[in-house]
Structure 1
C-alpha cells in the first residue's frame, strides 16, 4: 500500500465492538443472487446486496459505521467508486475496516490497491468560510465492471470543549435511502449510550396505500437500540411529489428547557459588554445622528458592511458567541458575533432587540423535528420597532434603507434567546410598498415605435438590482432588457432567431435615482423599434405587451403531495400604455378584458382605458407572503393564477387595417365570429 505512515485523520483498523464484525465467509454468504437481485440487475440498475448502518452516540463521542456490498455494473458507478472523497471535521477520524471486491466468486482485498491522500477542505476560505475540515481522497486501482464492491468503514468524532453543545445534546436525522437502489438487505441501528434519554420521532412513513401515517414518538434509555430492517427493499417514495420518510433522534428536552439552557450563555456576554468601554469612536458617530430612524439604519449597515463575516464551521458547532469588544476590535466575526455586536449597539440607542436562532435551509422541517438546539444553523436579530417586528441578517452586505424599507427575509420558525421560550412561528407579511413599480410606454408613429420603460425597485429588489448594475457590464444589461422585451412584445413568435440588437435600435438604460433611505432604485430604458407590430400568419397586425414574470408558473405547476406551497411572491404594479397612429378594435374581447381576484393569499386587479388609437392597462398584485398555502385551499389559489395567465398579465390591441375592403372584412369578421 502507498501509505506507510498513518495519518491522524484516517486509520486502517478493525471496527469497534459496538459495530460488530463479519468474517469473510459470512460476507460471501450475504452476497447471493436471489430472484429479487436478478430482476433488478436484468432491469439495468445497480444492486446493493446489503447495507448495514449503525449510529452510536455517547456524552463523549458520535460514531457512524457502514458496511455494504453493491454491484459495479454501470460505468458511472464504477467511476464514482474508483475515486471518492470523504470530508471529516476537526477531531473526526475516518476508519477503513475493509475494501474488497468479489470477482468471479473470489474475495479480493483491495486495500493494497488503495491510495489515500489527505487534503485541506478550504475551497471557500477566500469568501470568509473557515474550516478545519479535511478531505480524504480515496483512489482504488483496478476496479472492473461487474465487480461487487464491499466497503466497511466508520467515522469517529470525539468531543472537545468547543463541542459543549454536542456533549450535552444529541441530534441525528435518519432519512430513508435513495430510491434508485434496490437492497437485498437493509438495516439501520441507532445506539444510545448517553446518560440521558434520546427521543425519536418517525415522520412521513406511509401505509400500504401510500397515505402518510401520524408521527410516532418513542424514547431510548442508555444502552437501548432502535433498529429498522428490510429485506428485498426498494424505497417506494415518489421522490418528485413526496417527502422521504425520516426519523429524528434528539436528546429528550422541550423548547422551554432548551431556551433556558442557551439564555445564560448569551447573557454572560451581554453583562460584560459596554459599548462605551470598547467603541467610543462609534458612539461619537451615533450621537452625531439626529433621528432614531437614521441611527437604527446606521447601526445595521455598520455591522453588515464594516464587520467582515467569517463563517468558522468549528465555532458554529457550539453556541458561545464571541465578545462584541473582540468583534469590534478585529472587525470580523461569525453570525453570532455580528448579531451580538448589533444588539449591543441597538441597546445603546434604545431600540428593543433580541437574538433568534433559525435554520433557513431546513426551515420547513423544524415543525416536524423534536426540540433541539442543534436544529439551528444561523443567528439573526429580531427588532421590535414602532409596533412592528423586523428580522435582520447581520451577515449580509450592501443592503440599504430605513428599517421598514430593508430586505424582507423569508423563514417561518425561530427560537428567541429569552427565558421560557417556545418555538415561534413567524407572522405572514404584506408589503407596504410595491417591490416592482413599472411604467411601459410604447408609441408607434409612421411604422416606428418608441419604447420607454421606467422601473422603480424597492426593498430586496432594490438591493439586488443595485448589485446587478454595479457588477455587470452595461452592454450585457442592455442585452438582458432587449431579450426580455423581445418576448414581452411577442416578437419571438414572428421573428424568432433575429438578433435583438437589430430589433431594438439605439437601446439605452440608465440609473435615474438611487435613494438609500427609501431603498428605491429607479432605472429608465429607451429604444426605437422599426418594425413594431407583431404580425400573425394571416398578416393581422397587433401591438402586444405581456410580462410573463407576472405569471407565477411555480404556483400553476406545483404538484407536491406533502409540501404545502410556500408563498413568497413580490408585490407588483405595472402601467402598460400601447398607442399607435392606426385605428384599433376597441371592442376586442381580450383588449377590453379586466380582472379582479380576491384570494385570501393575493389581491390581483387589472383595469383598462381604451381609446380609438390605443389602450392602457393598470395591473396590481398584492400578495400575503411568508406562509404556506394549506392544501385544502391550494386548488383555488392555483385556479386564480390560471385566471391571471388568461390574458390578464398584459395588454394586446388589434390594428384595423386602412382601406374600404379592410373595413368591410373587419366588420364581417366582427359580426360572425
Structure 2
C-alpha cells in the first residue's frame, strides 16, 4: 500500500526581477492620519476581558466601508488582549496587507492599553513594507505587499488596539459593489460592528444567513447607511476534513448585482480582449484546422494544458481580466483565465462551440445559496460542445488523457457561462461518467519455504489517478520514484532487492497508466517451529479511506470520490496446499461497498478486496456508524495463515504421492 498521489500545482522559481517590481510598487510608505469623518468610532469595553483558557481574548472587530467616495475607503479596527506568553509571540506584530497598484494605506493608531493607560506605539519610521506574495506557491504573482510593525515591548495582559483605512479599489469591478461579511468564527468576539455607506440610489440586494439578526438602515441625504452589530459571538470550530463547500458560519451579503446576468455581462466585458491573431498563433490554428476534428480538439487541449505553463501575473485589473490569446500563446504561460481564453480561441477556430465558464473550486454547488456576485468565483474553465456532448475542460490540469472523452473532468458543481445572454448558473457536471480507479495485482512465487520469494506488482491508475501519477513521474523522475517504492517496501522487508527496472506503460488515449515492479524478497516466510507463516495484504484502500479523528462531529466528513480500488494478492506455493477458510466477506452501506474474497486454483491462492464509494461526504450524524464499518472492513484487508510441517523438501511428499498412485494403478492392472 502506497500513499495516494494528489494533483499538485507546478512549482517554479520566481525571478528576482519580478520580486523587485512588487517591491518598487511599495516604495512610498503609508501615511498616518486620523480616521475620516464618515467613520463612526466604536467604544471598546476592556472589563472582564481575561480568559485564562484562551491565548487571546478578542474584544472588537470593526469594519466600515464607504462606497460613495471617488476613492472608496475601507476602515478596519481590531482590539484584543494577550493572555499568555504564546499569544505575545504570535500576536504582537501588526501586519496589514494591501495592493499598492490601486490601494494606499492610512494608519490611524497602534496602541497598547496597559493598566488602564493608552500607550501609543505607532512609529511610521519603524513600519516596514515587505512582499506579501502569498500565492507564489500557486504560481500567482499579484503584487501584494504588507506593512509590518513590531510592537517591541508587548507583555502578557496588554490590550492591542489598532486601526487603519485602505483607500482605493480594483478598477476591474467598476461601479459594482459586493461584500460578504462573516458573522461567525472559530473564535468568540465580544463586539462586532459592520457599517456600509452606499449611494442612496444604488440598487442593493441584502441577505443575512444563519443568524436571526437584521440590518439597521437610514438615509442621510444622498447616502444610504447600513449597519449591523453583534455581541459575544458563538465560537464554532470546524471539524477536520469537512468538505470545502460546507460553510456552517453565518454571514451577511450585500450586492449591487440584481441577477446572474448582471455578473455574466460584467465578466463578458472583461473577457472581450484583443482577439487579433499574431502570425505564430495563426499558423498554429491553421495546422490544427487540417486535422480531423476529434484530433484537432485533442491537440488544442494538449497544447494549452501541457505546453502553456501555469503562471499568472494577476496585478491590478489582470486579477480578473485575461491577457489576449496571442500574448499567452507567445509567452507560453498564463493563469486559469489566460489559458481558458486561449483554448476557447483554438476550439472556436476548429468549429467547436466553446465558452469560458466561471466556477468555484471550493464552494462548488453551494454558490447557489448566495446572491449574485463576482466574489464567489475563484477559477475559470472551458465549456465545449462537440458531437452533442458537453465537456467541462480545466486547462490548468497538465498530463491529462488525450481526447475529450477520456480526460478527467472535475465536477465543479455549478458554473456561470461568460456570455452576455447568460441568465443563471448552470450545472457543470460532465456528461461522461469517469470513475477514477486503482487496480493492483501482486504475484508472489515461492520455489520452497526457505528461499527468497519473487514479487511482481502491477498497478493500473485510471482517469484522475492516472493524471496524478503522470504528474508525479514528471516531477520526481522514474529513478527517484523506483527508489522511493523500494524503500517503502524495505520497511517491512529490509532485505528486499529489485529484480528489474520500474516499467511504465502509459496509454493517454484511454487515460490509464500501469506501473510494474519486480522484487526478490528474502525471509518472506515467518518460521515458527516446523510451520511457515505468510500474509497476503490487499490494503491499498487505506491510503484513500481514513478514519476521522473527530467522530462526534457537527460537520460532514469528506471522502475521496468517486473512486474504485481493486487489490489482489496471489501466492504460488511450491506444492498444492489446501486451505479451507474460503468464506467471503461483504459490507454495503450508504457510503461505500466492500468485499473480500479468497480463491484457490491448484497451487495458487488469491486474496482480493474491492472498494467503491457512493458519495463524496459522510453526514455528521452517520460518522459513528461509518467508523464502525471501517473497523469491520479493516479486519478483512489481509489473510494470514501457516503451512504446516515444511522442514522437509516439499518435492519429497509430492514424489511419494505420485509413487503411491502409480502402485495403485499397477496393482489394479494386475
Number of the residue aligned with 1:668 = none
Structure 2 residue corresponding to 1:517, chosen from 509, 513, 534: 509
Number of the residue aligned with 1:171 = 178
- Compared with structure 1, are the counterparts of its residues 394 and 260 closer, same or farther at alpha carbon in structure 2 (3 Å cutoff)? same
Structure 2 residue corresponding to 1:553, chosen from 540, 545, 552: 545
Cα deviations by residue, 1:178-231 (Å, 9 ceiling, x for unpaired): 444552x333333334642332322233xxxxxxx7x98999987344433344
Cα deviations by residue, 1:250-273 (Å, 9 ceiling, x for unpaired): 22412233334444554x55xx74
1:70 maps to 2:65 = no
- What is the CA–CA distance in structure 2 between the aligned matches of 1:422 and 1:287, rounded to whole Å? 33
1:441 maps to 2:443 = yes
Q: 3-state DSSP class of the match of 1:196?
A: coil
Cα deviations by residue, 1:135-156 (Å, 9 ceiling, x for unpaired): 2222232223332222122222
Number of the residue aligned with 1:14 = 34
Number of the residue aligned with 1:377 = 378
1:313 maps to 2:314 = yes
Number of the residue aligned with 1:292 = 293
1:580 maps to 2:581 = no
1:505 maps to 2:490 = no
Trace 1:146-161 onto structure 2 (pairs within 5 A).
Answer: 146-160=157-171
Trace 1:183-332 onto structure 2 (pairs within 5 A).
Answer: 183=190, 185-193=191-199, 195-205=201-211, 223-231=223-231, 233-240=232-239, 243-263=248-268, 266=271, 268-269=272-273, 273=275, 279-289=281-291, 291-315=292-316, 319-332=320-333
Query: In the TM superposition, what is the alpha-carbon distance from 1:440 to its structure 2 partner?
Result: 0.9
- Compared with structure 1, are the counterparts of its residues 524 and 279 closer, same or farther at alpha carbon in structure 2 (3 Å cutoff)? same
Cα deviations by residue, 1:82-141 (Å, 9 ceiling, x for unpaired): 434322112212221112222333322212486111234457669753323222222232
Q: 3-state DSSP class of the match of 2:126?
A: strand
Q: Would you say the 8 A contact 2:563–2:613 is kept in 1?
A: yes
TM-score (norm. length: structure 1)? 0.78
- Compared with structure 1, are the counterparts of its residues 85 and 328 closer, same or farther at alpha carbon in structure 2 (3 Å cutoff)? same
Number of the residue aligned with 1:670 = none
CA RMSD of aligned residues (A): 3.9
Query: In the TM superposition, what is the alpha-carbon distance from 1:408 to its structure 2 partner?
Result: 3.0
Q: 3-state DSSP class of the match of 2:502?
A: strand
Number of the residue aligned with 2:461 = 457
Q: Would you say the 8 A contact 1:431–1:622 is kept in 2?
A: no
- What is the CA–CA distance in structure 1 between the aligned matches of 2:58 and 2:549, rounded to whole Å? 35
Structure 1 residue corresponding to 2:105, chosen from 88, 94, 114: 94
- What is the CA–CA distance in structure 2 between the aligned matches of 1:257 and 1:470, rounded to whole Å? 43
Q: Would you say the 8 A contact 2:443–2:457 is kept in 1?
A: yes
- What is the CA–CA distance in structure 1 between the aligned matches of 2:530 and 2:427, rounded to whole Å? 57
- Compared with structure 1, are the counterparts of its residues 56 and 539 closer, same or farther at alpha carbon in structure 2 (3 Å cutoff)? farther
Q: Would you say the 8 A contact 2:63–2:193 is kept in 1?
A: yes
Number of the residue aligned with 1:210 = none
Q: Would you say the 8 A contact 2:435–2:563 is kept in 1?
A: no
Q: 3-state DSSP class of the match of 2:361?
A: coil
Number of the residue aligned with 1:427 = 429
Q: Would you say the 8 A contact 1:275–1:348 is kept in 2?
A: no
Q: Would you say the 8 A contact 1:117–1:138 is kept in 2?
A: yes
Question: Which segments of 5 or more consecutive residues in structure 2 lack a partner in the other structure?
Answer: 1-25, 241-246, 648-670
Number of the residue aligned with 1:664 = none
Query: In the TM superposition, what is the alpha-carbon distance from 1:370 to its structure 2 partner?
Result: 1.4
- Compared with structure 1, are the counterparts of its residues 175 and 536 closer, same or farther at alpha carbon in structure 2 (3 Å cutoff)? farther
Query: In the TM superposition, what is the alpha-carbon distance from 1:348 to its structure 2 partner?
Result: 2.0
- Compared with structure 1, are the counterparts of its residues 254 and 557 closer, same or farther at alpha carbon in structure 2 (3 Å cutoff)? farther
1:105 maps to 2:116 = yes
Number of the residue aligned with 1:571 = 564
Q: 3-state DSSP class of the match of 2:223?
A: coil
Question: Which segments of 5 or more consecutive residues in structure 1 lack a partner in the other structure?
Answer: 1-5, 206-212, 492-499, 661-673
- What is the CA–CA distance in structure 1 between the aligned matches of 2:555 and 2:250, rounded to whole Å? 11
Number of the residue aligned with 2:143 = 132
- Compared with structure 1, are the counterparts of its residues 645 and 57 closer, same or farther at alpha carbon in structure 2 (3 Å cutoff)? farther
Number of the residue aligned with 1:667 = none
Number of the residue aligned with 1:666 = none
Q: Would you say the 8 A contact 1:508–1:526 is kept in 2?
A: yes
Question: For structure 1, which segment, 280-289 or 119-128, has the greater mean C-alpha deviation from structure 2 after superposition?
Answer: 119-128
